[in-house]
Amino acid sequence: MKPIDLRTRSKLFRGAKTALKHIAEGKFDEAQKATADLLKEAGQTAILMGVEAKAAWAQKNPKAARQYLEKGLEMSVVGDLVFNRIAVELGRQIGDDAFFETVLRVALKTTPSDAEIRYAAAGFCYRKGVIPAARTHYEAAVNLKPRFVPAMRDLGIFYYEIGEKDRALRVLRRACEFDPKLRESLLELGNARYRVKNYNGAAVVYETVTRLEPDYSPAYSNLGSAYRHSLQFRKGAQTLKRALLAEPENAGGYYNLGNLEKEAANLKPSITAFRRAVACRPGEATFHWNLALALLADGQLGEGFDEYEWRWETESFPTKKRDVTQPEWDGSPLEGRTLLVVSEQGIGDALQFLRFVPEAIKRAQAGAKKGRVLLEAHDEILDVYAYYKDMVELVPRRPGKEPDFDCHIAQLSLPKLLGVKTTEDLPKAPYINSISPDRFPVPDLDPAKLNVGVVWGGNPAFPGDDIRSSKVEYYEPLFGLDGVQCYSLQKGPREADLADAPPSLIPLSRDIKSFADTVSIVRQLDVTVTTCTSVAHLVGGMGCPVFVLLSHNPDWRWLQHRDDSPWYPSARLFRQAKPGDWPGVIEKIGVALNEMRKAKTS
């Protein structure tokens, strides 16, 4: 490309600046006129291609933007700073690493002394794990532009991560001289890493802030949460307590401490922390909700179910309260009215709390004049509820399309209404018992063997399912046990995992059409092995033997520190000794199955 004289280059810069201003204001016709003038002045240039790319991107045409950039990269010459900055900005946003690397290579070759381009190159190299190059570019950016605070911030964090902590603090303290709000910027950087679940990276940033400003309480609070997610419970508790010493009324700090202690299976201090959070901010629904979960996990059902009513006010709660005008049932006799028992959450919740329906019906019908009780059920378990047809009218769950009723009660509000205070007050299983083995005879069942149903996962869309669910490959040691025959009862998206299972696992899943089929199968088996899924509640509600695999921090209903369940006396609980240790759980279950087999055949 023919060199451009200084006078023409100056006109190009001014014209490009005008065009870019029009693009930023959305005045694309004016921008087009400006670019036409640029074309007349100097012909096709990299700067012109950059302006055209910027206009295409602003008009949501990324394909054209990339094409213009590619042309510009071919035309770029030494000193094309305007084009290179546009190319770096858009190249990053396009999201193609290979293309962005090409952009950076050209920009660094033609404008190697620009601090912003060196900063962009540093970030790219850091993300790719090319640490020496990242260091070179970060240091160059800071040296080329001594008050370049974002580069100084990231260089400080970089030094801290590679262990040069004193140097990191020197850089960051210097940056604070230019930007007194740097701690907030650092905190937001940590929060950005936290939001994408880079908890170790977030912890590094928060640690840096605490070193930089030892009395800055929010950094300690956030650091404690990052430690919790990276399973450093002791360090997390110490850090959160440090935050609370500095700020004793920090409700969020107590909330974070409550979550940490609960995940570490320390329920007493967890409950204490949640109570302090509630005392500091009484109207915060999330605090009450998490207090409820800790209390219920500790077996304090009375207060737990009282606090559980805050679920309706909790923004993150997956089920919303029914938008109806009829009043909630107060537990008094119906006297001719119609009561709707609302199935509010998932199938597992509905099955677990089905036990409370008979007592609720008894109260509702205690008056001189009988009423009607409508019991909602998910379509998948309507058949399972057949036993209750003589007590209630079963209706399919249709939020927003409910049949006529006079009052209503959410199914999980029944324990509070019925005065359940402790686990001793729970109605006992079995309470699901209406389906016989004849519905789904298990083919070629060998009574001489221990026959085992297996389920390894729940609904992947459920929050936290990646923690509560296992994988079929972890179960494989069970499939080869002598005298043990395993049958897959797995349904839903994880049924596809059967393709990788050994042939010794018999796949009944393909022929199971409903939960009623599962009930029929379970009655013919010796035991069911499942993670925390609706099948665990189904089999437990039937009163049949069930082994439940639990994560290190399971749902509240399995309580803590015990291998039995007051909710399901026929259940045995197998908990992870440490987070993620499904192989250790399976090993214990293998021992238990062998013991059952020996007892059966002796």
Give pLDDT, residue 8: 64
How confident is the model over 240-255, as pLDDT tens digits?
999 999 899 999 999 9
Q: What is the mean pLDDT of residues 194-221?
A: 91
Q: What is the mean pLDDT of residues 332-339?
A: 97
Percent over 90 (pLDDT), the chain: 76
Q: What is the mean pLDDT of residues 530-551?
A: 96
Q: Categorize the per-residue pLDDT at 204 as very low, low, confident or very high, splitting at 50, 70 and 90.
A: very high
Res. 464: pLDDT tops 80: no
Give pLDDT, residue 5: 59
Give pLDDT, residue 127: 93
Give pLDDT, residue 587: 96
Q: Of 410, 413, 418, whose CA–CA distance to 344 is shortest?
A: 410
| More confident call, 274 vs 51 | 274
Residues in the chain: 602
How confident is the model over 344-374, as pLDDT tens digits?
999 999 999 999 999 999 999 999 999 999 9
Burial of 120 (0-12, 13-18, 19+ CB in 10 A): buried
Q: What is the mean pLDDT of residues 329-335?
A: 96
| More confident call, 374 vs 494 | 374
Res. 288: pLDDT tops 70: yes
| More confident call, 6 vs 78 | 78
Q: Categorize the per-residue pLDDT at 261 as very low, low, confident or very high, splitting at 50, 70 and 90.
A: very high
Determine the Cα–Cα distance for residues 217 and 561; give it in Å rounded to an integer.
33
**Lowest-confidence pick of 223-237, 353-367, 390-404, 460-474:** 460-474
Q: Categorize the per-residue pLDDT at 40 as very low, low, confident or very high, splitting at 50, 70 and 90.
A: confident
Residue 569, token pair as written in the block: 């006396």
Give pLDDT, residue 570: 97
Res. 2: pLDDT tops 70: no
Q: How many CB atoms lie within 10 A of CB 49?
A: 25
Res. 504: pLDDT tops 60: yes
Phi-psi map region of 26: left, alpha, beta (phi>0 left; psi -120 to 50 alpha): left
Show Cβ contacts of residue 509 under 8 Å, excluding neighbours closer than 6 positions.
488, 489, 490, 491, 495, 498
Can you list the domains of the chain with their CATH numbers?
258-313 (1.25.40.10), 338-425 (no CATH), 437-601 (3.40.50.2000)
Residue 561, token pair as written in the block: 């520190």
Res. 145: pLDDT tops 90: yes
Res. 433: pLDDT tops 80: yes
Res. 260: pLDDT tops 80: yes
Res. 573: pLDDT tops 90: yes
**Lowest-confidence pick of 178-192, 343-357, 523-537:** 178-192
Give pLDDT, residue 15: 78
Give pLDDT, residue 6: 61
Show Cβ contacts of residue 307 under 8 Å, excluding neighbours closer than 6 positions.
288, 289, 291, 292, 295
Name the most confidently modeled range: 16-30, 202-216, 283-297.
283-297
